[in-house]
Amino acid sequence: MADYKLPAEQLKALKSKFPGLEVLESQDVIVPLADLTPFMTEIKENPDYAMDFLTNLTGVDYQDRYEMVYNLASLTQGYTLMVKVIIEDKKKPEVSSLCPLWMGANWQEREVYDLMGIVFTGYPGHPTRILLDEYFEGHPLRKDFQWEGGRET
């Protein structure tokens, strides 16, 4: 299968602009938490990258951290890019919302909030549950989630 990942030269240019950026061997990048919005604005607005399509957005619960994973694509350039953000604060996970850039993040961030309990700052209104009932407690995709209740025995 052909590879459509963002070429190394362009990643290098991004790295010089955002020194905190970590470029992985797989051509995915890890962005410092604080740089997320400026970085995303750059790859969206700059015609060299033109990442105008936010394909996918999800969170992963690791033992020592949360990780947000963003999959972006450029309709004009044809490239894709996987961007990761590490959230070290496991007690109060927060990351800035991408809704001001892509409205496609709207429902996806709500889903991540619902199932993983990551709060998106700057989200239009506070993200509310979308798949589960508003009275449901806990976030089921967290690794430490334990379901209690069910049928009475």
Partner 1 sequence: MKTQTYTLNLGPQHPSTHGVFRIILELDGETVVKATAVPGYLHRGVEKLAEARTYTQVIPYTDRMDYVASMLMNWGYVQAVEKLMGIEVPERAEYIRVIVGELSRIASHMIAVGAMGADIGALTAFTYTFRDREYILDLLEMVSGSRLTFSYFRIGGVAADFPEEFYSAAKKFLDELPGMCDEYDGLITGNEIFQTRTKHVGIITPETGINYSLSGPTLRGSGVNYDLRKVRPYSVYDRFDFDIPLGKDGDCFDRFWIRIEEMRQSKRIIEQALEQIPEGLIRAKVPKVIKPPVGDAYAEIESSKGIYGAYVVSDGSPKPYRVHFRRPSFINLGYLEKLCEGWLLADVIAIFASIDVVVGEVDC
Chain contacts with partner 1 (rule: CB under 8 A): 1-2, 4, 26, 52-56, 58, 60-61, 69, 71, 75, 78, 80, 82, 102-108, 111, 115, 130-133, 140-141
Distance between CA atoms of residues 131 and 152, nearest Å: 24
133: nearest Cα among 105, 106, 113, 114: 114
Q: Which is nearer to partner 1, 19 or 135 (CB)?
A: 135
Least separation in angstroms between CB 23 and partner 1: 16
Least separation in angstroms between CB 22 and partner 1: 15
Phi then psi dihedrals of residue 26, to 5 deg: -80, 10
Least separation in angstroms between CB 118 and partner 1: 13
Q: Which is nearer to partner 1, 88 or 135 (CB)?
A: 135
18: nearest Cα among 1, 2, 32, 8: 32
Q: Which is nearer to partner 1, 34 or 142 (CB)?
A: 142
Distance between CA atoms of residues 49 and 33, nearest Å: 21
Q: Which is nearer to partner 1, 8 or 103 (CB)?
A: 103
12: nearest Cα among 27, 26, 33, 1: 27
Least separation in angstroms between CB 57 and partner 1: 8
CB 43 within 8 A of CB 31: no
